[in-house]
Amino acid sequence: MYFSIAVLVTALLSPTVSALAFDGAVGFGSIATGGTGGTTVTVTTLADSGTGSLRDAVSQSNRIIEFSVSGYIVLDSALSLSSHLTINGQTAPGNGIGIMGAEVSASGKTNIIIRNLRMRQGTLDSDTGHSAFNMGKASNVILDHCSIEYGQWDSIDAVGTVNITVSNSIIALPIGQQFGAHVETGPSTFYRNLWVSAHNRQPLSKDDTQYINNVVYNYQAAYTSGNTAGYFSHDIIGNYFITGPSTSTAKDAFYQMDAQQSVYASGNYLDDNEDGELNGSSYNSVGSATVLSEPWSSDSSSLATLSAVEAVAYVLANSGALPRDELDTFVVSQVKSYGTNGTLYKSQTSTGVSNGGYGTL
Ligand SMILES: *[C@@H]1O[C@H](CO)[C@@H](O)[C@H](O)[C@H]1NC(C)=O
Ligand SMILES: *[C@@H]1O[C@H](CO)[C@@H](O)[C@H](O)[C@H]1NC(C)=O
Ligand SMILES: *[C@@H]1O[C@H](CO)[C@@H](O)[C@H](O)[C@H]1NC(C)=O
């Protein structure tokens, strides 16, 4: 008798959904298990390579990566991740971990979880054809509380990529092409991210997408489908688009949304007056896309969703790698000018932020 009750209670407490990447993970990348069940490896040096380095730690699969050091790791060449990895930047002491000088690449790999990591390529990388984070042809990847700045080709390259989530992250100040994220294949989820001062691709979504509670500031073009993209569906819910000094056409909050795109757009706001106050209004007219009366993904309705106004407060307070560092503070302060500050940069050195633009960790 007691046994049956115990079984019943256990059944009620254990949802039948599959395990999430981590508590609170959302979207298409949340099925990633990373290095769960594998070996925990601790990064003990900021050196680019060798014993105890991050490069050495990510060279094998089935690992959970932790850190006993904090500060910047300066890469001499792209950092190539293995499959089945978890990188937990939040385990680092002090102000946490940043990477500068080259691309972090999950290209062609599968099942990767990255949290609280700063990926800041910058002009230290002579290869302008590389991005801050590259997950081309990868699958089942989730980035959460990451800070991705100074990407040269894209901030995030996700061409030919399946099942991805980027959540609670800062994707800002791209240099070079000045692009945010390029996604093809998908599906993809972008949830509660802060996108600041890019020319375009925030993201470029040539895939079926969930785009929920993002804040985009000082864009030239923001959410883009690309007008040769093919037929895709987009759930665009509770996002706030805020124009800035680099914005020439406020309506390019939605860009190249052609008749092949099917869009559920609800609760989105646009503040286009650059008057130093957050006081925009409802904006859900998505180019010439086909209007959906309900989300294409049943998952979009079940995700916790804030109003666009609430999303601004939440994202400005919580996005990016934690604890928030000097560069992310600079990025957020530009957004808080609500229209007056911000520019598109060609180099990290132009920002005036310390440590050559990377900020000090
Ligand atoms: C993508 O996720 C779905 C479940 O949402 C799964 O069925 C599919 O196998 C995943 N694709 C890959 C390449 O793992
Ligand atoms: C927004 O607030 C500013 C400052 O209070 C005010 O000047 C402006 O008229 C407001 N704009 C709208 C659209 O309400
Ligand atoms: C805008 O930038 C100027 C010049 O750098 C600075 O003095 C001012 O405090 C900034 N305003 C906000 C709201 O951050």
pLDDT in tens, 44-71: 999 999 999 999 999 999 999 999 999 9
Q: Is 277 in the pocket of ligand 2 (CB under 6 A)?
A: yes
Beta strands 281-282; 269-271: pairing state:
antiparallel
Distance CA 29, CA 189 (A): 7
Within a domain: residue 165?
yes
Ligand 1 contact via 163 beta carbon (within 6 Å):
yes
CATH of the domain at 255: 2.160.20.10
Q: Is 92 within a domain?
A: no
Structural domain count of the chain: 1
Domain hosting 333: range is 112-349
Distance CA 198, CA 351 (A): 14
Single-letter residue type at 280: G
Is residue 85 domain-resident?
A: no
In the annotation, is 55 catalytic? Answer: no
Position 18 scores a pLDDT of: 62
Whole-Å CA distances, 10 to 2, 5, 13, 18, 62 = 12, 8, 5, 16, 29
Per-residue pLDDT of the chain (361 residues; tens, 9 = 90+): 344 444 444 444 444 446 899 999 999 999 999 999 999 999 999 999 999 999 999 999 999 999 999 999 999 999 999 999 999 999 999 999 999 999 999 999 999 999 999 999 999 999 999 999 999 999 999 999 999 999 999 999 999 999 999 999 999 999 999 999 999 999 999 999 999 999 999 999 999 999 999 999 999 999 999 877 689 999 999 999 999 999 999 999 999 999 999 999 999 999 999 999 999 999 999 988 999 999 999 999 999 999 999 999 999 999 999 999 999 999 999 999 999 999 999 999 999 999 999 999 9
- Annotated catalytic residue within 115, 192, 201, 324: 201
Residue 121 lies in a domain: yes
In a domain, 242, yes or no: yes
Residue list, ligand 3 pocket, CB within 6 Å: 333, 336-337, 341
pLDDT of residue 338: 98
| Alpha carbon distances (Å) from 236 to 10, 122, 225, 240 | 37, 30, 12, 11
Ligand 1 in reach of 31 Cβ (< 6 A) = yes
**How much is the pTM?**
0.94
**Residue 2: its pLDDT value, please?**
43
In 3-state terms, what secondary structure has residue 7?
A: helix
What distance in angstroms lies between residue 275's CA and the mean position of ligand 2's atoms?
Answer: 7
Q: Is residue 154 part of a domain?
A: yes
* Residue of minimum CA distance from atom 7 in ligand 3: 341
Among 335, 340, 343, residue to substitute to test ligand 3 (most atoms within 8 Å of Cβ): 340
Note whether residue 84 is domain-resident: no
Instruction: Report which protein residue has its CA nearest ligand 1's atom 2.
Output: 163
Residues 6+ apart with CB under 8 A from 44: 52, 68, 69
Ligand 1 centroid to Cα of residue 164, in Å, is 10
CA 187 to ligand 1: nearest atom: 1
The 10 Å Cβ neighbour count of residue 86 is 24
Q: Is residue 279 part of a domain?
A: yes
